[in-house]
Amino acid sequence: MSKSLARVAAALQAAGLQSGPVAARAEIRTAEAAAADAGVALDQIVKSILLQGRTGLFLFLTAGGNRVDLGKAAALAGEPLSRAEVEVVRAVTGFAIGGVAPLGHLTPSPCFADPRLLDFAEVWAAAGTPRHLFRVAPDALIRVTGARVADFTG
């Protein structure tokens, strides 16, 4: 088991969540591929989007079919934001792009959650690698990540 996958499994267990990582049938690099692999609607996929501000990274948990509106996200963060560099994402979270989990980061970041995720009984997120997912109730994910539900999509 990779270090990234083990870190997510440990974070799920420490949070008291019953879910564990599940191996995908193939490598997953998009929300569409994740939805197809898990057999769920696109918006049931949680995209972990990291944006860079002057004070650090901000994590936005977005429904698979939605896009982060940088203006709305910056208003929530209270500072200008831009896409985080790949190397920064890896250094702060410990995950490579395509496998960034919403929890188990090396350094936690302020977190916001798309209200669309709450429309489902369960959602699926990357589990630290492009080949693993985990399922979770959205309210439980919001609780364990400390996310604030807010409108930041457009």
* Tens digit of pLDDT at every position of the chain (154 positions): 789 999 999 999 999 998 889 999 988 989 999 999 999 999 999 999 999 999 999 999 999 999 999 999 999 999 999 999 999 999 999 999 889 999 999 999 999 999 999 999 999 999 999 999 999 999 999 999 999 999 999 9
Query: What integer pLDDT is reported at residue 97 of this predicted model?
Result: 85
- Pairing mode, strands 111-113 and 56-63: parallel
Does residue 154 form part of some domain?
Answer: no
* Domain of residue 24, residue span: 3-149
State pTM to two decimals.
0.96
58 forms bridges with which residues in the sheet? 51
Does residue 44 form part of some domain?
Answer: yes
HEC letters along 60-115: EEEECCCCECHHHHHHHHCCCCEECCHHHHHHHHCCCCCCCCCCCCCCCCCEEECH
Q: Do residues 37 and 43 touch, judged by C-beta distance below 8 A?
A: no
Structure tokens at 22: 């599940």
CATH of the domain at 35: 3.90.960.10
How many structural domains comprise the chain? 1
